[in-house]
Amino acid sequence: MNRKKNTFAQWWWKILCIVLLLFTFIKGLTVKIPNLPALEETSRNLFFHVGMWMAMMTLFTVSVVNSIRYLRTFNLKYDIYARQYSVMGIIFGLLGYATGAIWMSYTWADPNNPLFQSFGALAREPKLIGAAVALLIYFAYLVLRDSISDMDKRARISSVYNIFAYAMLFPSIWIVPRLLPSLHPGQEGNPAMNFNDVIPEMRMVEFPAFVGWALLGVWITTLKIRLSLVKEKRMNA
């Protein structure tokens, strides 16, 4: 009986993740959306492209929390947690970047201009540069962590660096892009989170989508963590 309860506690959020993402994919394509100029049907990308960034922010936040936990307890387990969460955050960030690139090619780029001219204009987007900087800082975290062979030193240095990386995340993707002129939405606030900007029908899909993507990221990360903990145990045994 007790065991059954345990399995339910382990599984309920994974089931929730599956249900929410299936809902996102089905409802996200069929829900009626306002026909905005230039955006048209692409507003549906709100459930997918923005979801990637929400998942990334969630994973990086969990990662930095685990780094702090490591520095408080010096338990190497938390360092492994922090590393795996930041790797998954980077993957979601890259997916967000790639999906954003596709989306902007058909909404921002002027079809009358040659591609390289459009690229010249779009590459100046502060939000793109900011996101690239943020991701590069996290790449540096991985390089730094994996280049130190002493386990305790590695954990300590990379945990401190992770806190700095998380602190840099805010100016680079939240603050600086907002201070500069940009085509990217979110200049004057949080359009996706603002209750007046998103019609209720879309909001009904949007929030489940964000939660679902974040849960998917956490799910994959827990698998990676469990695998590396098993590996660690085998190495010590």
Partner 1 sequence: MRKIKSLLLLFIVLSFTTAVQAQTNEVSAFEQTMRGNGRIYVVIAVMTTILVGLFLYLIRLDRKISKLEKN
The contact set with partner 1 (CB under 8 A) reads: 14, 18, 21-22, 25-26, 29-30, 219-220, 223, 226-227, 230
In the complex with partner 1, the residue whose CB is nearer, 47 or 53, is: 47
In the complex with partner 1, the residue whose CB is nearer, 35 or 196, is: 35
Least distance (Å) between residue 218 CB and partner 1:
12
Q: Are 48 and 99 in contact (CB under 8 A)?
A: yes
Tokens for 92, please give them: 């979601």
Least distance (Å) between residue 11 CB and partner 1:
9
In the complex with partner 1, the residue whose CB is nearer, 24 or 162, is: 24
3-state secondary structure of 187: coil
Least distance (Å) between residue 161 CB and partner 1:
29
What is the identity of the amino acid at 222? T
Least distance (Å) between residue 10 CB and partner 1:
9
d(CA 141, CA 164): 10
DSSP string, 103-133: HHHTTTS-TTS-HHHHHHHHTT-HHHHHHHH
Least distance (Å) between residue 57 CB and partner 1:
22
Structure letter (DSSP) for residue 196:
T
In the complex with partner 1, the residue whose CB is nearer, 29 or 136, is: 29
3-state secondary structure of 188: coil
Q: Are 54 and 20 in contact (CB under 8 A)?
A: no
Least distance (Å) between residue 231 CB and partner 1:
9
In the complex with partner 1, the residue whose CB is nearer, 140 or 223, is: 223
Residue 28: Cβ-neighbour burial (10 angstroms; 0-12, 13-18, 19+): buried
In the complex with partner 1, the residue whose CB is nearer, 40 or 152, is: 40
